[in-house]
Amino acid sequence: MYKNINFRTDLADERADIYKKSNNIENNIDGIETQTREDGNIKITEVKITNENGEKAIGKPIGNYITIDINKLKVATDEQIEKYGDILSEELKKLINNHVTKEEDILIVGLGNIYVTPDSLGPKVINEIDVTRHILKYMPEVLEKGTRSVSAISPGVLGTTGIETLEIIIGIIENIHPKLIIVIDALASRSMERISSSIQLADTGIVPGAGVGNTRKEISQKTLNIPVIALGIPTVVESAVLVNDCLNLFIEKLQEEAKSNEYLNQLKEKDNYEEIKEALIPKDYNMIVTPKEIDELIENMKDVVARGINYAM
């Protein structure tokens, strides 16, 4: 019997790694196919969950999960940003083509709060999307024949609207009938290294705010009856995660210096996240943190994602 794991990460590739390590599995997990490609600064990891075994193993529904890792986005040039956008576009196109034909309607949904910088990626991308739905409706003659109908919306967040995002999306779908939805969200990352440097694509939907502990209603084919591609980018990290990561690095350093002891070694072996989290709560330290340069990172990410989506349409 395999161990029950609290993954604490949304990334399917990280989950697969953790699962294999925990269970000492050398080869592939049954029901999970993993592939990695590299291209310059960029690593693309594809995880395909093909059956219920795979589903159970890493706690993610059957479907495709693609992670694009971009390093050094903070110092990216215009040319690099364009290249990243083009790579994203390629991957996105493949996922879209799995689910709809070239002309079927797509609705892009940008989750998040435009007034909170680390949460503003979704609304900012929406502003850059080349929408065509209204032109097809009112002036079809100015567009090439066969242009796909694209619409885009930024529904806001529960805290400022008072309305569940899912309720808003359902309402819109019932009126405009898209065939596929792409949801963009800023995620809470489980690792400082991933902040603004990973893009995750999945054709299995999203639970907004899942990372931040404010679970909202799932946005997926199950709740919407049409396929949902989620495009998520980590922009914040929980302080308990940061401390847990750092505690391990610190103990490692003590071990290297032969200053560690049995107890610390054990501490490192087990996962202290829950206990750290509890220790921080009374002090209100259990906050979300984000790097100081988040404004610039978000701007660059917005350019990458907007280009990726526009070119994929």
Tokens 């990460």 correspond to 9
DSSP bridge pairs for 151: 107
Helices (H), 78-164: 78-99, 121-126, 133-138, 158-161
Distant-in-sequence, close-in-space partners of 15: CB < 8 Å, separation ≥ 6 = 7, 9, 58, 59, 60
**Looking at residue 132, what DSSP letter applies?**
-
Of 154 and 204, which has the nearer Cβ to a second copy? Answer: 154
Q: How far is CA 27 from CA 6, 23, 295, in A?
A: 22, 11, 41
Of 7 and 250, which has the nearer Cβ to a second copy? Answer: 250
For the purposes of burial, counting CB atoms within 10 Å of the CB of 200, is it exposed (0-12), middle (13-18) or buried (19 or more)?
buried
Q: What are phi and psi of 215, to 5 degrees?
A: -60, 125
Tokens 């050094």 correspond to 72
**Looking at residue 167, what DSSP letter applies?**
H
Q: Which helix (H) or strand (E) holds 39?
A: strand 32-39
Cβ at position 26, least distance to a second copy in Å: 27
Of 182 and 243, which has the nearer Cβ to a second copy? Answer: 243
Q: How far is CA 177 from CA 150, 267, 281, in A?
A: 11, 53, 44
Q: Which helix (H) or strand (E) holds 198?
A: strand 198-202
Cβ at position 228, least distance to a second copy in Å: 17
Cβ at position 107, least distance to a second copy in Å: 8
Of 46 and 69, which has the nearer Cβ to a second copy? Answer: 69
Cβ at position 215, least distance to a second copy in Å: 11
Cβ at position 34, least distance to a second copy in Å: 25
Cβ at position 288, least distance to a second copy in Å: 4
Cβ at position 127, least distance to a second copy in Å: 6
Q: Is residue 67 within 8 Å of 199, Cβ to Cβ?
A: yes
Cβ at position 204, least distance to a second copy in Å: 24
Q: Is residue 176 within 8 Å of 107, Cβ to Cβ?
A: yes
Cβ at position 171, least distance to a second copy in Å: 3
Q: How far is CA 154 from CA 188, 245, 248, in A?
A: 19, 34, 39
Of 98 and 261, which has the nearer Cβ to a second copy? Answer: 261
Of 42 and 242, which has the nearer Cβ to a second copy? Answer: 242
Of 42 and 267, which has the nearer Cβ to a second copy? Answer: 267
Of 116 and 210, which has the nearer Cβ to a second copy? Answer: 116
Q: How far apart are CA 198 and CA 191, in angstroms?
A: 11
Of 116 and 207, which has the nearer Cβ to a second copy? Answer: 116
